[in-house]
Structure 1
């Protein structure tokens, strides 16, 4: 519509110019119209310039956990959620929209997820499962609101005394506005977080809603050359294996679990990430149920997968965050989503 207006005004000026060349006498009202036309053109041009400047300014802010541009403010807190990975809990809801997912062994050979959401917040996330200390320590590194459903008395006390802001689904079980039980699955694989209620629950507990996490390092440039890979498989003992297959067209790694593609039940999208970050660290079983203590502080070996390459690196804990390093220098992530696998030394990492 603006282009039509501009060209219409231009035609009027051309016709006026032709009249002047023909020696026509221009009445006073014609001169006034010319002035008005010139002012309108100037206004239209200024509007176009202003809109261009506004568009450029709108995309100067980045989401801190993906490094991707946003036209909206990104000053809200991150939400972290314990997500069940039992076979009876699949497919899960909301994982395709998580900025970062940490996958770690819980008990036995079954992993559990800590999903961090900031750039996108799905309506429903889950199934939600119980807390473990090493998960809420990771969440604390991002000052994220830690959300889980139930835990032993001892672990609940650890969560409460840690100082982290948290929401325990056991306190809101199936209340219809924060947690809801699905009728097509049995407990404990059917509790879902309704994110529309998070703000109300957090406000009730006096938690801040604002305060974006500190940004992770991101770059489009390759830090150093790695080994080309099409497929990476991680095997936890005999029960769980995770596979990442590289999609060269979209420059993403597609996740599978136990031979099945990881699909988001909420939107039926395949879980795909730009970064796969694998960290080796010490795991110790501490009781008969198979609960673990996991070392998140000492650093160690790791693998960083980006743009179809696998890079052998080290990891360090920097202010509660597990970050990649090479020869003492910090490395950056590729803008986009990240999946983190924290594995024991006896887990197998195989490539094709």
Structure 2
């Protein structure tokens, strides 16, 4: 009987020892699992991209808003200043068959841009997608009110905004210059919610080129105004532009968007009806990139939405990151000639 009791005691002690060992082992495993892996690589920081170029912004997005400066586009306003510092440029129709530029500045804020001219109601759809803050010499009362009601912040010389000066070599209304650094001090920063264009994402394959070879093009806005382009290396450049020598905008991609043009509802001082390009809806577009031009369909659901494109086979068409020039051409009245 005594021997049996001793055997039971030994078994109990052994079981307890095994339990303690198991608990110790489990605790050690938990500690090892919770311990950081010294060999693991930390997550790479997310690098934001520009909403205007699709390029990485290694220093982060700037605190300033996107400024959209209205620039004279005739010989009377030559030379144009600051275009080489712009992120994106758009050419739009104004009265008399002439055109004006809307130059977008975000990553670089020049101290000399011009020569600055007045706004148009077309600018609501031009500046809207990125919450662009418009810089203009002034504008007709009706146009000015519509632009502000469209949610666009305006810096206008007529309204007393800072940063404007006169070019002594020119005469009014072709002599107005703007110091964007001065404007930036007064402007409230705004978060840019979307990219202006559907840029090809890093690591993704670019859209397949399905069009035809192109080395030069003439974009006609009216009987009196055409913009001529040529491929210079890998970039598209204007051959009849009005920029200071060596200071013109060089486009990695040039896009022609055919859009409906209506009547803005008022006339200029000379009595000419003022056109309004309706930058929403959908239609045909031509994308020039490298030595290739692709014909695609553009779509913009509302004035403040971004542009998207669809290829001829129905697939999404993206734009390679880089600087882009958009020709906003009248549907029906405008045209493009290659070569």
TM-score (norm 2): 0.77
Counterpart for residue 211 of structure 1: 191
Residues 1:119 and 2:107 aligned together: yes
Alignment of 1:68-217 (within 5 A): 68-76=55-63, 77-172=65-160, 178-202=163-187, 208-215=188-195, 216-217=197-198
Counterpart for residue 243 of structure 1: 228
Counterpart for residue 40 of structure 1: none
Residues 1:278 and 2:250 aligned together: no
Structure 1 CA distance for aligned equivalents of residues 147 and 51 of structure 2? 25
- In the TM superposition, what whole-angstrom CA distance separates every residue of 1:56-95 from its partner, at most 9, and x where no partner exists? 85x9332221122232111432111111112211221111
Counterpart for residue 32 of structure 1: none
Task: Please tell me whether the aligned partners of residues 62 and 106 of structure 2 are also in contact (alpha carbons under 8 angstroms).
Answer: no
Structure 1 CA distance for aligned equivalents of residues 133 and 88 of structure 2? 14
**Unaligned 5+ residue runs, structure 2?**
1-41
SS at 1:263 equivalent: coil
SS at 1:321 equivalent: coil
Structure 2 CA distance for aligned equivalents of residues 119 and 199 of structure 1? 12
Residues 1:98 and 1:122: Cα distance change in structure 2 (over 3 Å): same
Paired residues in the alignment total 286
What's the CA shift for 1:157? Answer: 1.7
Task: Please tell me whether the aligned partners of residues 95 and 264 of structure 1 are also in contact (alpha carbons under 8 angstroms).
Answer: no
Structure 2 CA distance for aligned equivalents of residues 152 and 64 of structure 1? 30
Task: Please tell me whether the aligned partners of residues 172 and 179 of structure 1 are also in contact (alpha carbons under 8 angstroms).
Answer: no
What's the CA shift for 1:143? Answer: 0.6
Which of 279, 302, 306 is matched with 1:321 structurally? 306
Query: Larger RCO: Structure 1 or Structure 2 (Cα < 8 Å, ≥ 6 residues apart)?
Result: 2
Structure 1 CA distance for aligned equivalents of residues 275 and 223 of structure 2? 18
Counterpart for residue 252 of structure 1: 235
Structure 2 CA distance for aligned equivalents of residues 209 and 197 of structure 1? 14
- In the TM superposition, what whole-angstrom CA distance separates every residue of 1:120-176 from its partner, at most 9, and x where no partner exists? 222211111111111133202211111111111111221232222221121237xxx
Counterpart for residue 349 of structure 1: 336
What's the CA shift for 1:322? Answer: 3.1
TM-score (norm 1): 0.74
SS at 2:308 equivalent: strand
SS at 1:340 equivalent: strand
Alignment of 1:299-318 (within 5 A): 299-318=282-301
What's the CA shift for 1:213? Answer: 4.7
Task: Please tell me whether the aligned partners of residues 123 and 196 of structure 1 are also in contact (alpha carbons under 8 angstroms).
Answer: yes
Structure 2 CA distance for aligned equivalents of residues 69 and 322 of structure 1? 20
- Let me know the Cα RMSD of the aligned residues: 2.6
- In the TM superposition, what whole-angstrom CA distance separates every residue of 1:230-283 from its partner, at most 9, and x where no partner exists? 0011123332211110123xx1101122xxx55346xx3342101111011222
Task: Please tell me whether the aligned partners of residues 102 and 114 of structure 1 are also in contact (alpha carbons under 8 angstroms).
Answer: yes
Residues 1:218 and 1:291: Cα distance change in structure 2 (over 3 Å): same
Task: Please tell me whether the aligned partners of residues 75 and 211 of structure 1 are also in contact (alpha carbons under 8 angstroms).
Answer: no
Structure 2 CA distance for aligned equivalents of residues 253 and 262 of structure 1? 15
Residues 1:140 and 1:150: Cα distance change in structure 2 (over 3 Å): same
SS at 1:183 equivalent: coil
Rg bigger for which structure?
2
Alignment of 1:229-240 (within 5 A): 229-240=214-225
